[in-house]
């Protein structure tokens, strides 16, 4: 807290002076939040969110947002994309623009279609000029290189019509993490304008697929929420399937045929080592983490019968949670960790069931014609996403009591939904009829904004992790 400068003194300082004093303090964590000087524009009242409604967000979706390049006080070399802080400032604004545009959330205009601004202008916007451009909202930021190689990025959101500052945040990042500063900025803009929780600064694990339909190579891979910083984890010599990030992003539980049979491994992202989720002999499927990261659910087949088990993430004794003839598989915790929604064909074919976290109180919640599979509880707790096998395979959501089913997609084969950390967007994978090509798509809860994620090769089984600290 000692770094929090007196706002009044900051107001009187020039921007560079304020940043200099900030940089003199140690920055120990990634994407460290950094207090920023207020702008010269008056601050708007905190509660002024344009709309917080889940069902009708058309009001803020049409907002025009101008995002000019982030100027730097002095262009210095940096290891981040661009090579120097001046070029990096343009790249930062491009990432903010892409985040907001690609998700269909707003109508932003990016740095490549806008004039540049001066460094001092960041905190003293030329509102009249932006009004003339019909911009309703304005995102301005700066980037500054530090003596230790770290970067300080500032991000301000202004309401152009009101001539007021709505929000500001600063971040100190290592050059390799420069995109995180832009994602944090986009998250701030999105949260302030929509009233929703942020989600851009997050990561996705998935399965990268190559090769012909009858000989697909399936590799575990990870990427940022916008597809950047892509990395293959496994070579593809052994088929990998159904990954799930641990809530702290340190581990990935996934299925691998590396020992010839399908079994769940827990891969440590930092060390590259992995271990079996259970030494039990049966094949294991469908790993899932508890929201606190303390437990892993897995499903194991014994003599053709599949049941769901829970094991401490650090290892130890497994507890069997289901015990019925048939296939009980998957499982997704409610955000409070007290309930688990899962899939079972005990009633004849796949439907959705809910149980308490200790396995008690199992009851069916879906009664659709067709089949219902791969339920995933929203991080907000208010919805369950699932795959409806209703003729085609479609992504749908319903209330946690099984009511109010709504289809979000209508294609030949969409499956395996995964929630954005804020519970407003769902990713899934789509298989193309005939060719078997797979791709990751995302759709918002209105079902109106559907788009394909860019991946280097075909992609399936997306698993979205939480927002990074």
Interface positions with other proteins (CB under 8 A): 212-216, 218, 238-239, 241-242, 255, 257-262, 283, 285-286, 299, 301, 303-306, 327, 329-330, 343, 345, 349-350, 371, 373-374, 387, 389, 393, 412-413, 415-416, 431, 433-434, 436, 460-461
d(CA 389, CA 424): 23
* Kind of pairing between the strands at 425-431 and 414-419: antiparallel
**Residue 13 φ then ψ, to 5°:** -85, 155
Q: Say which DSSP state 76 is in.
A: -
Q: Which helix (H) or strand (E) holds 351?
A: strand 351-356
Asked whether the beta carbons of 330 and 299 are under 8 A apart, the reply is yes
Token match 């500054």: residue? 144
Strand-pairing partners, residue 340, are 333, 355
Write the CB contacts of 263 (distance below 8 Å, at least 6 apart in sequence).
255, 256, 257, 276, 277, 283, 284
Instruction: Give me the helices (H) in 175-269, please.
Output: 178-194
d(CA 74, CA 70): 12
What angle (nearest 5°) sits at the alpha carbon of residue 389, between those of residues 359 and 402?
45
- Rg of the chain over all Cα atoms, to the nearest angstrom: 24
Q: Which helix (H) or strand (E) holds 88?
A: helix 85-102
d(CA 164, CA 241): 49
Question: What is the number of other CB atoms lying within 10 angstroms of the CB of residue 20?
Answer: 15
């Amino acid at each position: 807290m000692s770094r929090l400068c007196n706002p009044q003194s900051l107001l009187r300082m020039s921007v560079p002076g304020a940043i200099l004093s900030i940089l003199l303090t140690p920055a120990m964590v990634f994407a460290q939040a950094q207090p920023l000087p207020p702008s010269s524009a008056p601050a708007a009242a905190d509660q002024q969110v344009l709309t917080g409604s889940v069902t009708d967000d058309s009001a803020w979706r049409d907002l025009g947002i101008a995002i000019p390049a982030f100027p730097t006080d002095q262009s210095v070399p940096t290891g981040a994309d661009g090579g120097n802080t001046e070029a990096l400032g343009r790249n930062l604004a491009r990432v903010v623009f892409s985040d907001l545009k690609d998700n269909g959330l707003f109508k932003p205009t990016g740095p490549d279609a806008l004039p540049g601004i001066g460094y001092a202008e960041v905190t003293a916007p030329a509102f009249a000029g932006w009004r003339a451009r019909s911009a309703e909202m304005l995102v301005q930021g700066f980037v500054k290189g530090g003596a230790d190689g770290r970067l300080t990025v500032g991000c301000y959101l202004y309401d152009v019509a009101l001539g007021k500052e709505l929000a500001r945040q600063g971040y100190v990042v290592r050059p390799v993490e420069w995109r995180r500063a832009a994602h944090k900025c986009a998250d701030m803009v999105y949260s302030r304008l929509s009233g929703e929780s942020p989600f851009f600064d997050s990561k996705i694990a998935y399965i990268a697929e190559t090769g012909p339909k009858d000989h697909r190579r399936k590799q575990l891979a990870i990427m940022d929420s916008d597809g950047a910083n892509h990395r293959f984890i496994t070579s593809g010599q052994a088929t990998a399937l159904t990954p799930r990030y641990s809530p702290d992003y340190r581990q990935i539980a996934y299925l691998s045929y590396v020992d010839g049979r399908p079994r769940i491994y827990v891969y440590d992202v930092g060390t590259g080592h992995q271990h079996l989720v259970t030494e039990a002999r049966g094949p294991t499927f469908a790993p899932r983490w508890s929201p606190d990261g303390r437990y892993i659910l897995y499903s194991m087949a014994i003599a053709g019968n599949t049941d769901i088990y829970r094991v401490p993430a650090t290892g130890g004794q497994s507890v069997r949670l289901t015990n019925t003839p048939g296939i009980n598989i998957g499982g997704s915790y409610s955000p409070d960790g007290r309930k688990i929604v899962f899939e079972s064909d005990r009633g004849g074919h796949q439907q959705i069931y809910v149980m308490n976290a200790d396995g008690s109180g199992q009851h069916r919640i879906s009664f659709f014609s067709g089949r219902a599979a791969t339920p995933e509880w929203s991080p907000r707790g208010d919805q369950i996403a699932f795959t409806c096998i209703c003729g085609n395979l479609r992504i749908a959501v319903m209330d946690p009591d099984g009511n109010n089913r709504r289809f979000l997609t209508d294609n030949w084969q969409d499956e395996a939904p995964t929630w954005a950390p804020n519970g407003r967007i769902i990713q899934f994978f789509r298989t193309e009829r005939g060719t078997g090509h797979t791709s990751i798509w995302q759709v918002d809860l209105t079902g109106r904004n559907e788009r394909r994620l860019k991946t280097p090769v075909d992609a399936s089984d997306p698993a979205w992790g939480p927002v990074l600290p």
